[in-house]
Structure 1
Amino acid sequence: MTTTSPHPSRTTSPPHLEVTWTDPVTGRKGYVVIDRLVRGVASGGLRMREGCTLDEVRGLAAGMTRKEALHYDPGNRYIPLGGAKGGIDCSPHDPAADAVLGRFLEAVGALLKHHWTTGEDLGLRQDTLDRVLAGLGVESSVEAVYPLLEDPAGARRRLADAFAVDVDGIPLPDLVGGLGVAESALTALDRLGIPRTSARAVVQGFGSMGGATARYLARAGVRVVALVDALGVVANPDGLDVEELLRTRDALGGIDRSRLRPGDTEADGDTWLDVECEVLVPAAVSYCVHPRDQARITARVIAEAANMPVLPEAEAALHARGVLVLPDFVANSATNAWWWWTLFGDIGADATEAERKVRDAMRRLTSDMLVRAENLGITPREAALVVVDRRLAAIEERFGGPGAHAAARREGSRP
């Protein structure tokens, strides 16, 4: 069996492990794919959505391998893990969702304990995951990483303290991912010579990732002219009041229409690609920009806040038109990196420190990617994959192959 991610890396190989689970009560399917192990551990979130498939989870797991590798810095305490992902074919709105989630987590408990660190993803919030795991007697969704830490108790306290940090009424964990997406998009605008204050943005999705992206784009002077939630498009050519809409959105990113101002308009959800803008941010679902759609897009920069939102054929056509597509495993990698920077001790439970680390890392990654793409005449994705392959090779050289995993875990975080 081979990895079927739509954008394979040069070092793509079959996944290390695939698990398909069938719920004995509802018949719902759940999946875990471990794409690659590093020191015996892989990292990647768990999503819940109606229609989730093994192919989808497989592609997401390969993407996690790339996100981890991109942030490899031999000078950091954080050493990237392998990539993994989980998915459950069940709507989070289904009355049986919590029960299905609990049975799934119980079934894959051995992976959670020893090899798979996970967290919130599409359709699943971290507090829900933590609550269900607590009911199963599991302390943490990242328990598998503890043997790699020099001071597991101190690391857990540091991460718990970071999760308790509040920034203007929004939890820090809900901001770091979107901050990274925004910084990546802003870096691309700067590269293109487009002034931030003359740029317009459209953000599809207003949950933690999309909401934070809109927030930091607006704070940089970009006019956020349209937001998209499950009910449709909210737009204003002069710019929406992002802060007010953030304060009044619901837990799943729904926009409170009663808070719209004069001049704000509503439209059908399928019109979001028609809104004129310089920055387009798909931050909701996968596979949402098809080849038939790309001609509608006026943006110069597409920042993939969601995982795998732009299909390969659409990306090729966009690239031919001079549109920069910032790939998901670069643009939306800050959430994952922030978890591990905090847990391993590269940063503390401090919003200013986190913002500085995220901005510096994302600006460097994006700039390097775009310069390499321009110099080699390739797409940003292809340029980023060159870096991924080099860093995966460096990680393997430092820690060895699969046979070295057990020894590395026994030795904690030491190389």
Structure 2
Amino acid sequence: MATENAENNSFFLSVQRNFEKAARHTIFDRGILDQIKACNSILRIKFPVKIGEDVEVIEAYRVQHSHHKLPCKGGIRFSMEVDQEEVMALAALMTYKCAIVNVPFGGGKGGIKIDTKKYTVFELEKITRRYTSELCKKNFIGPGIDVPAPDYGTSAREMSWIVDTYSSLFPNDINAQACVTGKPISQGGVRGRTEATGLGVFFGVREACSFKEDMEKIGLTAGISGKRIIVQGLGNVGYHTAKYFQDAGATLVGLIEFDGAIYDENGLDVDAVQAHRKATGSILNYAGAVSMSDPAQGLEKPCDILIPAALESVIDKNNAERIQARIIGEAANGPLTSEADEILQSKGVMVIPDIYLNAGGVTVSYFEWLKSLSHVRYGRLEKRFSENMYKELIDIIESTTEKQVSKLERKMILRGPDEIDLVHSGLEDTMIGAYREIRDIYMAEPGVEDLRTAAFICAINKIGVAYQELGIFP
């Protein structure tokens, strides 16, 4: 227990240290900085649940880090690693993350300290519903108060239980569906949410690689095509990240899971690896690839871009020196320790920070929240109008040129945007715009040595201005 707390404290303190490092480059006085840094509300609860013939007391948390904008926003994780310090650190990251991508939420985070493998689906449902009722009693959930989402150990299934419980307790709230995001489509979810974080990672790294002068500094050419990629973690985020890079022409040379890693300099096919994993229960012994029983070895293999998309602190002072990647994209929360950050910076490695790079999930959650509040599916009001307009344009072109557009071209041009098209487009625009803001600070601000510090400066500036405009401070 002491070791676990020390690790979580280290993660929390790492977030605080990064904040202070960036705060020196801002214009705000100490009072405003302390308010931005502080966790505003912390709920720690214990509640009984009947499991089989016994009663278990379940430990759970919900932290609202910042109220500079409402509602608060952040996932709920089910894990035995959950404790107050970890949830506070993750809630703080959510605050900065939302500010960076211009999503008008304060940061929040929740967690239930359980091992999901020990419970049946029915028992998990009882725990989730009871947790939701406790949040309702304490006013820690609601469309305008605090909006949870899936995180480690949870999914759309748990979100459907939460929205159903909330709706039963507040039957007159017509916006009840907006109390959570990451819901199933049938419950008001948005298309594109499943792949959102992985797609956001791809968009972010692609944008970073588009600047020729930045790539030349680290010995790479501009663009994604031909880059060698290693992805750690084949969960939802890791799989979609690998898939989008592969489809964009990158070479997926390595994949890492909890039970080992595989590496093939000629390239892996992520779907084939997934099929092998489903058939055998492991990614190891995939045909043509070198297998490593120690997952950490996979992080140290030659590549251009390394994407840690699994656990916290997987790169630390002990292995940072052996990392061969020129770019590290933090798809997970806190995959690098502070010591590793310093070592990699001294080696000239570009680290694209988590508080920007994995913001695709909360960006699309924002779109889902807006959809639930408006009660209208994206594209419903414009799809047919767009198709009719495109048809008129084709008719004009054909009559003017006296040439016919082929059936395939006509089909492609006439297609109006579906919900998923609009969601992906909005996510792409958000990730591109946010990276350019961070890069502008990095390039212009004297003494800013890395993108992480620039990202924190970007967040602090936006939150500080919001607090000043609220009139709380003189």
Q: Distance in 1 between matches of 2:430 and 2:288?
A: 38
Asked if 1:324 is matched to 2:350, the reply is yes
Q: Distance in 2 between matches of 1:161 and 1:320?
A: 49
Asked if 1:53 is matched to 2:79, the reply is no
Residue 243 of structure 2 aligns to a residue whose secondary structure is helix
Who is 1:71 aligned against?
Answer: 101
Who is 1:313 aligned against?
Answer: 339
Residues 324-346 of structure 1: CA distance to partner in whole angstroms, max 9, x if unpaired? 11111100001111121343269
Deviation at 1:383, TM superposition (A): 0.6
Deviation at 1:27, TM superposition (A): 3.7
Asked whether the equivalents of residues 284 and 292 of structure 2 are also in contact (C-alpha less than 8 Å), the reply is: no
Residue 46 of structure 1 aligns to a residue whose secondary structure is strand
Who is 1:6 aligned against?
Answer: 14
Asked if 1:107 is matched to 2:137, the reply is no
Asked whether the equivalents of residues 356 and 455 of structure 2 are also in contact (C-alpha less than 8 Å), the reply is: yes
Deviation at 1:234, TM superposition (A): 2.7
Who is 1:210 aligned against?
Answer: 238
Q: Distance in 1 between matches of 2:199 and 2:174?
A: 25
Q: Distance in 1 between matches of 2:163 and 2:118?
A: 19
The partner residue of 1:362 within 431, 434, 440 is 431
Q: Cα distance 1:282–1:40, how it changes in 2: closer, same or farther (>3 A)? A: same
Asked if 1:187 is matched to 2:207, the reply is yes
Deviation at 1:386, TM superposition (A): 1.4
Residue 307 of structure 1 aligns to a residue whose secondary structure is coil
Deviation at 1:201, TM superposition (A): 1.1
Q: Which has the higher contact order (CA 8 A, sep 6+)?
A: 1
Q: Distance in 2 between matches of 1:140 and 1:276?
A: 54
Q: Distance in 1 between matches of 2:241 and 2:83?
A: 27
Deviation at 1:19, TM superposition (A): 1.2
Q: Distance in 2 between matches of 1:311 and 1:30?
A: 26
Asked if 1:279 is matched to 2:287, the reply is no
Q: Distance in 1 between matches of 2:289 and 2:182?
A: 44
The one-letter code matched in structure 1 to 2:239 is G
Which deviates more, 393-402 or 94-103? 393-402
Q: Cα distance 1:265–1:395, how it changes in 2: closer, same or farther (>3 A)? A: same
Q: Cα distance 1:199–1:234, how it changes in 2: closer, same or farther (>3 A)? A: same
Deviation at 1:310, TM superposition (A): 0.9
Residues 322-368 of structure 1: CA distance to partner in whole angstroms, max 9, x if unpaired? 11111111000011111213432696562222222222221232233
The partner residue of 1:173 within 193, 202, 205 is 193
Asked whether the equivalents of residues 117 and 144 of structure 1 are also in contact (C-alpha less than 8 Å), the reply is: no
Asked whether the equivalents of residues 116 and 144 of structure 1 are also in contact (C-alpha less than 8 Å), the reply is: no
For structure 2, the residue ranges without an aligned partner over 5 or more in a row are 1-10, 24-32, 49-54, 380-417
Asked if 1:127 is matched to 2:157, the reply is yes
Who is 2:290 aligned against?
Answer: 265
Q: Distance in 2 between matches of 1:223 and 1:327?
A: 22
Aligned positions, number: 379
Which deviates more, 299-308 or 356-365? 356-365
Who is 1:231 aligned against?
Answer: 259
Asked whether the equivalents of residues 47 and 88 of structure 1 are also in contact (C-alpha less than 8 Å), the reply is: yes
Asked whether the equivalents of residues 38 and 80 of structure 1 are also in contact (C-alpha less than 8 Å), the reply is: no
The one-letter code matched in structure 1 to 2:15 is H
Asked if 1:384 is matched to 2:408, the reply is no
Which deviates more, 19-28 or 286-295? 19-28
The partner residue of 1:43 within 70, 73, 77 is 73
Q: Cα distance 1:161–1:260, how it changes in 2: closer, same or farther (>3 A)? A: farther
Q: Cα distance 1:26–1:291, how it changes in 2: closer, same or farther (>3 A)? A: farther
Who is 1:219 aligned against?
Answer: 247
Q: Distance in 2 between matches of 1:281 and 1:121?
A: 18
Residue 225 of structure 2 aligns to a residue whose secondary structure is helix
Deviation at 1:200, TM superposition (A): 1.0
Q: Distance in 1 between matches of 2:79 and 2:285?
A: 29
Cα RMSD between the aligned structures?
3.5
Q: Distance in 2 between matches of 1:140 and 1:335?
A: 27
Q: Cα distance 1:221–1:38, how it changes in 2: closer, same or farther (>3 A)? A: same
Asked whether the equivalents of residues 117 and 145 of structure 1 are also in contact (C-alpha less than 8 Å), the reply is: no
Q: Distance in 2 between matches of 1:156 and 1:13?
A: 27
Deviation at 1:104, TM superposition (A): 2.3
The one-letter code matched in structure 2 to 1:106 is S
The one-letter code matched in structure 2 to 1:329 is I
Deviation at 1:47, TM superposition (A): 0.6
Asked whether the equivalents of residues 202 and 227 of structure 1 are also in contact (C-alpha less than 8 Å), the reply is: yes
Q: Cα distance 1:317–1:116, how it changes in 2: closer, same or farther (>3 A)? A: same
Q: Distance in 2 between matches of 1:336 and 1:328?
A: 12
Q: Distance in 1 between matches of 2:312 and 2:162?
A: 26
Give 1 or 2 for the bigger CA radius of gyration.
Answer: 2
Residues 142-188 of structure 1: CA distance to partner in whole angstroms, max 9, x if unpaired? x99949x9xx79x99997698464xxxxxx21212111111212222
The one-letter code matched in structure 1 to 2:260 is G
Who is 1:290 aligned against?
Answer: 316
Asked if 1:117 is matched to 2:117, the reply is no
Runs of 4+, deviation exceeding 6 Å: 155-159, 247-250
Q: Distance in 2 between matches of 1:325 and 1:23?
A: 41
For structure 1, the residue ranges without an aligned partner over 5 or more in a row are 73-78, 166-171, 403-415
Who is 1:351 aligned against?
Answer: 420
Deviation at 1:247, TM superposition (A): 6.6
Deviation at 1:319, TM superposition (A): 1.1
Q: What TM-score do the two structures reach when normalised by structure 2? A: 0.71
Q: Distance in 1 between matches of 2:169 and 2:349?
A: 41
Q: Cα distance 1:398–1:126, how it changes in 2: closer, same or farther (>3 A)? A: farther
Q: Cα distance 1:173–1:70, how it changes in 2: closer, same or farther (>3 A)? A: same
Residue 193 of structure 2 aligns to a residue whose secondary structure is helix
Deviation at 1:258, TM superposition (A): 8.2
Who is 2:114 aligned against?
Answer: 90
Which deviates more, 177-186 or 229-238? 229-238
Asked whether the equivalents of residues 276 and 286 of structure 2 are also in contact (C-alpha less than 8 Å), the reply is: no
Q: Distance in 2 between matches of 1:284 and 1:277?
A: 18
Residue 394 of structure 1 aligns to a residue whose secondary structure is helix
Residue 20 of structure 1 aligns to a residue whose secondary structure is strand
